[in-house]
Amino acid sequence: MGHVVLVLVETVNDCLYLLEDQGYELILAPSAASRAEAIATHGARIDVVLTRGPLGLRDDEMAALPLLGIICVIGAGYEEVDLQAASNRGIKVTNGAGANASCVADHTLALLLSTVRGIPQADASVRRNEWIKVRQPSLSGKRLGIVGLGAVGQAIAKRAALGFDMSVSYHTRQPRPDSPYTYRANVHDLASAVDFLVLATPGGAGTRHLVDASVLQALGPDGYLINIGRGSVVDTQALITALAAGTIAGAGLDVFEGEPLVPDGLKTLGNVVMTPHVAGQSPEAAKDTVQLVVDNLQAFFSGRPLLTPLQLPAPR
């Protein structure tokens, strides 16, 4: 009997042929309605779910999938996957850590350059037949702080250090003894020590509003915030207030709380650059992401170790 994959994601459709080429049957369910219908109609046959962090998979959905053996999450984040429920049911979970790291890092530097150098504002000014020259800070030799030093964080740090001669500091739950960068014990200390603060950490309860008004105050009036992690990591109202008051100089945002809805308070500010959660999107990243899913599934169904397993809580 072939394996049946419930595909909840909508961003890698053009690369799903990699799964089909290996004989997997795909059931596409990118909306809430199609997701519920697919589980109700095909639940007894589905043994794989392909999802992403914000879409997740709930306990009641797992209960409706008696053959489910593995959940594959594209991207590094997995905040809405019920890991405890998966553990209780003996379901394996993998993520896509590292598959799109280069793409996300490229976009991070693009956001940083656009925000600090005022590129969108300058472009809009020229289109209005204006010729206004504003002195904007440079990036070279500045201090970069990164919250989260996984594959994405390391790729960002490498670009900043080697490409722009920046000094790099970071914060993670535990220091990395193999890292050449400076460890800071908490986010507040990190923010106070850098010019640019980049958020590359997963979402979830453990990081919700990690960046609050006090962290933004520590970053200061010459500091810039870049978020390519998860919108929930930042207290949005505190950020709007800080940007409007000049508490920080600017922000570049690819992720938002409650996306795709973006607060009007952000849209009216001139010192913020926004993109619609596309940092990890490129043809190369999509193909690498789906290939990692294929590789994990091939390992799982052949009894070999998974390539990117998540550590699950103890079953209870």
- The catalytic residue among 277, 284, 304, 316 is 277
Cα separation, 168 vs 178, whole angstroms: 14
- The catalytic residue among 52, 79, 230, 257 is 230
DSSP, residue by residue, the chain: ---EEEE---S-GGGTHHHHTTT-EEEE--SHHHHHHHHHHHTTT--EEEEETTT-B-HHHHHT-TT--EEEEESS--TTB-HHHHHHTT-EEE--TTTTHHHHHHHHHHHHHHHHHTHHHHHHHHHTT----------TT-EEEEE--SHHHHHHHHIIIIIH--EEEEE-SS--TT-SSEE-SSHHHHHHT-SEEEE----SGGGTT-B-HHHHHHH-TT-EEEE-S-GGGB-HHHHHHHHHHTSSSEEEES--TTTT---HHHHT-TTEEE--S-TT--HHHHHHHHHHHHHHHHHHHTTPPPSSBPPPPPP-
Pick from 21, 10, 11: nearest CA to 294: 21
The one-letter amino acid code at 191 reads A
25 catalytic residue (yes or no): no
- The catalytic residue among 259, 284, 304, 316 is 259
208 catalytic residue (yes or no): no
Report the residue count for the chain. 316
> How many CA atoms lie within 13 Å of 182's alpha carbon, on the beta-carbon side?
15
Q: How many other CB atoms are there within 10 angstroms of residue 131's CB atom?
A: 7
Catalytic residues: 230, 259, 277
